[in-house]
Amino acid sequence: MMKLKITTFVLIGGLVGALTDGIMLGVGASALVFIAYQFEKYIDKMMKD
């Protein structure tokens, strides 16, 4: 499931990047957003436990 999530983030980022600043910039930015999103979910889970 995790593989599909990162692939979706990267593809959407590449598409948005193609329309704006560049494909690789969009892919990199979307990968960073995905990492931040997963890290935030992990921190929230750790705080609840």
Q: What is the pLDDT of residues 1-31, one digit of tens each?
A: 667 888 888 888 888 888 888 888 888 888 8
Q: Is the pLDDT of residue 43 over 90?
A: yes
In 3D space, the residue among 3, 6, 2, 30 whose CA is nearest the CA of residue 18 turns out to be 30
Query: Alpha-carbon distance 43 to 9, whole Å?
Result: 20
Burial 5-35 (b: 16+ CB within 10 A, else e): eeeebbeebbebbeeeeeeeebbebbeeebe
**Counted domains in the chain:** 1
What is the percent of the chain where pLDDT is above 90? 22
Q: How confident is the model at residue 45 (pLDDT cuts 50, 70, 90)?
A: very high
Q: How confident is the model at residue 42 (pLDDT cuts 50, 70, 90)?
A: very high
- In the DSSP assignment, the letter for residue 20 is T
* Owning domain of residue 37: 2-48
Please name the amino acid found at residue 21.
D
Confidence (pLDDT) at 1? 63
Q: Is the pLDDT of residue 39 over 90?
A: yes
